[in-house]
Structure 1
């Protein structure tokens, strides 16, 4: 299986050659073309997160239900644990019937699909441990500068950690719990029923949800002067913060914002940069959108 990494790129499924697999947003939304053997496994657009599994679970199910990935080229535009595990599955289809593989893929899928909002993932810390290479790169600011080759190496490192976990050579959940530290964050603005925070750790949503904060925009400054933003609500049942509407309002000001029904974020540009909007601008745009939503139902 061949891998193509093009940071920030999105295309239509029809633009891909035959025997292509687009992962986690390279093509927006889940798509199937059995005639030319082109598939998009994604859960970021044109879907309801509650009933759409993460990319790694979609790929697992596809392989178990008959997809032979050996002839395909996989396309990705970003790297996280979900994408890396999907690639591990495409490279190791013969292992997907192993009970441990299925168990950990399901756990990783729940964490990714629900952005930390799902409470019963008992291996949460071990799944986070798998993704430490990516998390550390983002926190340090190195991630946005990584080349395609370096992103490929990052995928391999996450896959190697997954292998260690399967072999029983990773730290236990209990060991990781003892050394766990809560994500640091700074509250920037309080909106109408929602909060904007600045945090370096991309897993900060886990801790915010545990504190009862269910409507959130996170902000992380990058070294190039742009900002990473995530717009999230804990689930599709949290009202007063319609994420797709908010993302559409932001996209009208700066192209490239997008996501699913509960989580989305800033543009992912080919040069590694993200949004050029400043935090106060984003706050004001989101707050105006939230107020319009509330007024429309009164």
Structure 2
């Protein structure tokens, strides 16, 4: 125990940074808000979160069924100590379900786990405690520093073992039996001075009756810093880099994406990130300034590269809104960054969420679920419009309405437009550009104009019948060119397409031309809706209409126009061109067929 012969709190003149407490050790610990909890973290173990909450207890059944990555300390779980390696749930305790005098203290259990090779870097962990006594804080220090515990060059390892053994005996058996630790008298005396120093603040607060008013997280950090000074060798933290984790998310195949803040450059930071996260790191975003980030692909074998991430970030970022001709996320396949001039408006959590979205796009089951959800929204809106049309009594509200306005057709499309707008206002409130609610961009979508004209020339576009043009021509034209195409485009190229695009790659004004999933999905629903409307508006029996060429032509034309409108929507970033082309196709059909 030569490394304990000097005064444990006397530090050499190192060149380490000064922490916020004025000590000559780096400030490695911090408190963050995580939902409703305040969590304690260590910058060298950002995947570990410690929650110290007064009176926190967990029932036996809940402890056994805790989420993977849970560690209960010293009385939180009302159950005997257990190690569930399969579920990654541990209870380090010597209160319930055991003979306390014959059971190792919590800090000793934590030390044994770490010495036996426990590696906590493979996932996120939450450590729960309900009172920061020295036994608990020692266990927390060991868990947060588990990588250092087995590094004989990093810490005063023998001093740690002796301190843990002595505190374990005192906590389990009482101060009067401390000699059962088996430590030499002089070492025992020195370690008792260390324990007294570590507990000074606790004892003073309890004596003054202020212990229950203590901020347990802040108190825990203060003791952890003292333990750093005693246990970590002087000079060992000279290469410590202040890396703050801002956000993290699980990707796939035991890979994660993180956002960190540091004064170092991305290449200087790489070895330190490898030390912190091992081989789990897929992508990292380094925040250099408030809104500026550098993106780096750490794993060369990720299923997609950063090009796909840029596309998703540009689609999500309010500073870009998917537009071209503005500063965008971009770079090469392995390194890039955020928009340079004004930076990004995405939060760290939104950046890692976009990274996960890129990975989840590859999941077929998620695409199917998204399609079914979009179809459910679509059918609900169509059903509401049909119900309104069937019970359309405008004469009860306004007696001077024209004959056309009293028709079920006008009631149907009016209800369709209103319900779609209300749904869009709710769903697209935060990111309207993702649903095409913005001014058009680019010009190459004009190439699709001939397809709209061809659809009109086929005569298969849905338009008002001649009766309405004869009785109320102004309303008929408004219905044909405004209400009908606008309501359909808002529903299918706005709402439905936008919902499907949340988990799919789509075109933009400068991308290659391709058929995207949202375009195909929205077209299928659009063609189905047009087919149903054709059946509803048919004069003859339904079975006759089902076997007629009228229905087949209507569905085929709807499919062709739906694909064209979807591509227009994507390449222009807006539903306005899709609406205009729909109106043009309807106008062509009216001029060639209906009004002749």
CA contact (8 A) 1:4 1:76 kept: yes
User: Does residue 109 of structure 1 match 2:168?
Assistant: yes
Q: Counterpart in 2 of 1:231?
A: none
Q: Counterpart in 2 of 1:22?
A: 72
SS in 2 for 1:16: coil
User: Does residue 92 of structure 1 match 2:151?
Assistant: no
CA contact (8 A) 2:74 2:136 kept: yes
The verdict on how the C-alpha distance between 1:34 and 1:130 changes in structure 2, with shifts beyond 3 A counting, is same
Following TM superposition, by how much is the alpha carbon of 1:66 offset from its aligned partner in structure 2, in angstroms? 2.5
1:30-81 superposed Cα distances (whole Å, 9 cap, x missing partner): 1222221110000112111232111000000011113223431100111100
Following TM superposition, by how much is the alpha carbon of 1:125 offset from its aligned partner in structure 2, in angstroms? 3.2
Which has the larger share of helix? 2
1:87-138 superposed Cα distances (whole Å, 9 cap, x missing partner): 0011111332422221211122121121213241512232132122222222
Separation (CA, whole Å) in 1 of partners of 2:178 and 2:127: 32
SS in 2 for 1:118: helix
Separation (CA, whole Å) in 2 of partners of 1:126 and 1:82: 14
SS in 1 for 2:112: helix
SS in 2 for 1:165: helix
The verdict on how the C-alpha distance between 1:114 and 1:21 changes in structure 2, with shifts beyond 3 A counting, is same
SS in 2 for 1:40: strand
Q: Counterpart in 2 of 1:233?
A: none
Separation (CA, whole Å) in 2 of partners of 1:96 and 1:83: 17
Separation (CA, whole Å) in 1 of partners of 2:120 and 2:164: 18
Superposed, 1:140-155 pairs within 5 Å as 140-146=208-214, 150-155=215-220
Separation (CA, whole Å) in 2 of partners of 1:114 and 1:69: 30
Q: Counterpart in 2 of 1:165?
A: 230
Pick from 29, 43, 54 the counterpart of residue 7 of structure 1: 54
SS in 1 for 2:177: coil
Q: Counterpart in 2 of 1:262?
A: none
The verdict on how the C-alpha distance between 1:139 and 1:15 changes in structure 2, with shifts beyond 3 A counting, is farther
CA contact (8 A) 1:133 1:158 kept: no
Pick from 81, 86, 90 the counterpart of residue 39 of structure 1: 90
Q: Counterpart in 2 of 1:77?
A: 130
The verdict on how the C-alpha distance between 1:107 and 1:95 changes in structure 2, with shifts beyond 3 A counting, is farther
- Structure with larger RCO (C-alpha < 8 A, sep 6+): 1
CA contact (8 A) 2:53 2:216 kept: no
Separation (CA, whole Å) in 1 of partners of 2:112 and 2:231: 19
Separation (CA, whole Å) in 2 of partners of 1:93 and 1:87: 10
Separation (CA, whole Å) in 2 of partners of 1:56 and 1:36: 22
Separation (CA, whole Å) in 2 of partners of 1:113 and 1:159: 21
Superposed, 1:241-252 pairs within 5 Å as none
Superposed, 1:205-220 pairs within 5 Å as none
CA contact (8 A) 1:41 1:59 kept: yes
Instruction: With the length of structure 1 as denominator, give the TM-score of the two structures.
Output: 0.52
CA contact (8 A) 2:52 2:132 kept: no
Q: Counterpart in 2 of 1:66?
A: 117
The verdict on how the C-alpha distance between 1:89 and 1:115 changes in structure 2, with shifts beyond 3 A counting, is same
CA contact (8 A) 1:42 1:55 kept: yes
CA contact (8 A) 2:71 2:92 kept: yes
Q: Counterpart in 1 of 2:416?
A: none
Please tell me whether Structure 1 or Structure 2 has the larger radius of gyration of its CA atoms.
Answer: 2
User: Does residue 132 of structure 1 match 2:183?
Assistant: no
Separation (CA, whole Å) in 1 of partners of 2:178 and 2:206: 25
Separation (CA, whole Å) in 1 of partners of 2:101 and 2:139: 20
Instruction: With the length of structure 2 as denominator, give the TM-score of the two structures.
Output: 0.27
Separation (CA, whole Å) in 2 of partners of 1:18 and 1:155: 25
Following TM superposition, by how much is the alpha carbon of 1:167 offset from its aligned partner in structure 2, in angstroms? 6.0
